[in-house]
């Protein structure tokens, strides 16, 4: 192997390793299209998950894995509408996020159903 090809192979190896690391730990591929870009960038403590859809609206839960902060947004017609998260406001809410069932109330456009309990939608901020 010549001295000229060694730096090229080393560069390809480093770039390939970094690309694999980024693809594995950034969650870019598994992040829903409704998550803000700062949640999609690698090493962000924020993750988000689509919880429900109804009539063109998408309910997205956002969680900061470092601080435990939780937020909800409703994505509709290309805009994010931030709403109050039910944590601390409903009688049954688990710290294990995957155990909570949060979705739109099919009978009431202005409410959510959280673990079987009705919770009113309260807007906290706009985009």
| Rounded percentage of the chain residues whose pLDDT exceeds 90 | 44
Judgement on whether residues 5 and 49 belong to the same structural domain of the protein: no
Judgement on whether residues 50 and 91 belong to the same structural domain of the protein: yes
Judgement on whether residues 60 and 121 belong to the same structural domain of the protein: yes
Judgement on whether residues 11 and 58 belong to the same structural domain of the protein: no
Judgement on whether residues 59 and 119 belong to the same structural domain of the protein: yes
Judgement on whether residues 54 and 72 belong to the same structural domain of the protein: yes
Judgement on whether residues 65 and 102 belong to the same structural domain of the protein: yes
Number of domains in the chain: 2
Judgement on whether residues 85 and 55 belong to the same structural domain of the protein: yes
Closest residue by Cα to residue 95 from 50, 127, 126, 65: 65
Q: How many other β-carbons are positioned within 10 Å of the β-carbon of residue 125?
A: 10
Q: Which residue range forms the structural domain that includes residue 12?
A: 1-30
pLDDT tens per residue across span 62-109: 988 889 889 999 999 988 899 999 999 999 998 887 889 999 999 999
Q: Is the dihedral of CA 121, 82, 58, 46 positive or negative?
A: negative
CB < 8 Å & 24+ apart, contacts of 100-104: 102/51, 102/52, 102/59, 102/61, 102/72, 103/51, 103/52, 103/54, 103/59, 104/52, 104/53, 104/54, 104/57, 104/59
């Amino acid at each position: 192997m010549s001295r000229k090809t060694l730096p090229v192979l080393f560069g390809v190896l480093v770039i390939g390793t970094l690309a694999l690391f980024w693809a594995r730990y950034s969650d870019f591929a598994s992040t829903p299209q409704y998550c803000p870009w700062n949640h999609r960038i690698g090493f962000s403590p924020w993750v988000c998950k689509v919880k429900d859809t109804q009539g063109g609206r998408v309910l997205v839960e956002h969680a900061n894995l470092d601080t435990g902060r939780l937020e909800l947004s409703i994505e509709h017609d290309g805009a994010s509408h931030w709403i109050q998260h039910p944590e601390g406001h409903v009688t049954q809410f688990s710290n294990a996020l995957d155990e909570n069932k949060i979705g739109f109330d099919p009978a009431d456009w202005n409410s959510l159903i959280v673990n079987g309990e009705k919770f009113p939608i309260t807007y906290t901020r706009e985009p």
